[in-house]
């Protein structure tokens, strides 16, 4: 089974994560520029709109104003994910798992940057059809990658695929 070198995979992780975090931050800056203090922009009336929201908590403003709690949780999550990325087998078979972790890490970093620099997370995507919490690109990374990761763990990988440190 083909393996990637630890160095090449680390470089790929850093570049991909930097790109994803930059994309998240750029979309948030555009949201501030185009949406802050302005009415929502309906993309699909009654379904999807862009509206700017500053969130001091989690989804639905759960744990509002718990900035340092979220910072600590995000830092711990980033450390754990980085350690996993360095330890999971570097095989082609494990690449989807690996990429999911990079996306989750990037989403955590994107929102962590907001919390550390601004004290809030900038959200701007709203599915009004189901009254889903307003979210951002970093949230999409975390949510979608976690969903795919669960599917992979349930249907693709077996216990022996996770022998760490190969």
Q: Is the pLDDT assigned to residue 27 strictly greater than 60?
A: yes
Rounded to two decimals, what is the model's pTM?
0.90
pLDDT at 166: 45
DSSP track, 93-156: TTHHHHHHHHHHHHHHHHHHHHHHHHSSEEEEEEETTTTPPPB-HHHHHHHHHHHHHHHHHHHT
Residue 5 — φ and ψ, nearest 5°?
A: -70, 150
In the sheet that holds 48-55, the strands lie side by side as 41-44, 48-55, 121-127
Rounded CA gap, 109 and 123, in Å?
15
Listed in sequence order, the DSSP H helices in 52-94 are: 67-87
pLDDT at 61: 61
Instruction: Choose, from 13, 24, 139, 161, the residue flagged as catalytic.
Output: 139
- Establish whether 139 is a catalytic residue: yes
Domain boundary assignment for the chain: 6-162
Instruction: Choose, from 24, 114, 123, 161, the residue flagged as catalytic.
Output: 123
What digits encode the pLDDT tens for the residues 106-161?
A: 999 999 999 999 999 999 999 999 988 899 999 999 999 999 999 999 999 888 87
Rounded CA gap, 25 and 71, in Å?
17
Arithmetic mean of pLDDT, 53-66: 74
What digits encode the pLDDT tens for the residues 61-98?
A: 667 777 788 899 999 999 999 999 998 888 889 999 99
CA dist 20 → 73, 89, 93, 99, 104 (Å): 20, 23, 23, 12, 10
pLDDT at 75: 96
- Establish whether 13 is a catalytic residue: no
Q: Which residue has the higher pLDDT, 151 or 59?
A: 151
Buried/exposed 119-154: b ≥16 CB within 10 Å, e otherwise = ebbbbbbbebeeeebbbbbbbebbeebeebbeeeee
pLDDT at 62: 67
Q: Which residue has the higher pLDDT, 91 or 60?
A: 91
């Amino acid at each position: 089974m083909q393996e990637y070198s630890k160095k090449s995979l680390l470089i790929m992780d850093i570049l991909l994560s930097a790109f994803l975090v930059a994309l998240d931050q750029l979309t948030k800056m555009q949201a501030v520029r185009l949406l802050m203090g302005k009415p929502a922009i309906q993309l699909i009336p009654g379904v999807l709109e862009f509206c700017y929201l500053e969130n001091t908590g989690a989804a639905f403003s759960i744990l509002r104003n718990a900035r340092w709690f979220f910072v600590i949780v995000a830092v711990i999550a980033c450390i754990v994910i980085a350690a996993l990325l360095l330890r999971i087998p570097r095989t082609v078979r494990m690449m989807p798992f690996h990429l999911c972790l990079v996306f989750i890490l990037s989403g955590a970093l994107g929102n962590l940057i907001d919390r550390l620099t601004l004290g809030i997370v900038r959200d701007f995507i709203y599915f009004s059809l189901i009254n889903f919490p307003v979210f951002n690109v970093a949230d999409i990374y975390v949510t979608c990658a976690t969903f795919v990761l669960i599917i992979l763990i349930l249907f693709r990988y077996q216990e022996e695929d996770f022998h760490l440190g190969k």
